Amino acid sequence: MLDTPIGPLQCGVNEPGEVVFINFVAGRGAKDLPGAVADPRRLQRLTIQLREFFDGSRTEFDLPLSPRGTEFQKQVWSVLRRIPFGSTRSYQEIATTIGRPAATRAVGAANGSNPIPIVVPCHRVIGSNGSLTGFGGGLPVKRWLLEHEAGIARLRF
């Protein structure tokens, strides 16, 4: 369990040390994911990078990932990883980027089932009208993450 400014996060990696999930524990409790281990030594790289993200010294993650999902979900998650720090994209923009402009709802569902939030920045996806939409950690957490990144981006860029 990692204590963060947005609440405790439960993290899991597989045997080779690839990140398989980050879970918002507040209001949900911890979960088990088959094949994931919570070995502090294997989690050390993820823990360090998350702490750096929260203290403002990291804007990009450099971690091996192994999210479980469909090919479509993995395609969406890959696009999410390319959203620049401090920026946002709409579900429609993501759908267009993957060549499926009519798949806005499917993109929303894939975004919502992202098992590695923050590192795969699903919080950077917003409604076409600029509104904050659903987020696994709750809208206050999504707002905090976006404001955190925007503040750091203003200072750095």
User: What does the pLDDT look like over 128-144, one tens digit per residue?
Assistant: 899 998 898 999 999 99
Residue 28's pLDDT is 60
Average predicted confidence (pLDDT) for the chain: 91
Extract the runs of DSSP E, i.e. beta strands, from 17-86. 19-24
Q: In this structure, are residues 42 and 155 in contact, taking their beta carbons and an 8 Å threshold?
A: no
Which architecture does CATH list for 71-156?
Orthogonal Bundle (1.10)
| 26 pLDDT above the threshold of 80 | no
Residue 37: the pLDDT is 72
Does the pLDDT of residue 81 top 70, yes or no? yes
Between the alpha carbon of residue 78 and those of residues 6, 33, 71, 72, the distances in Å are: 24, 21, 10, 10
CA distance 52 to 46: 10
Structure token pair of residue 69: 């999902």
Looking at the annotation, which residues are catalytic? 122
Q: What residue ranges do the domains of the chain occupy?
A: 71-156
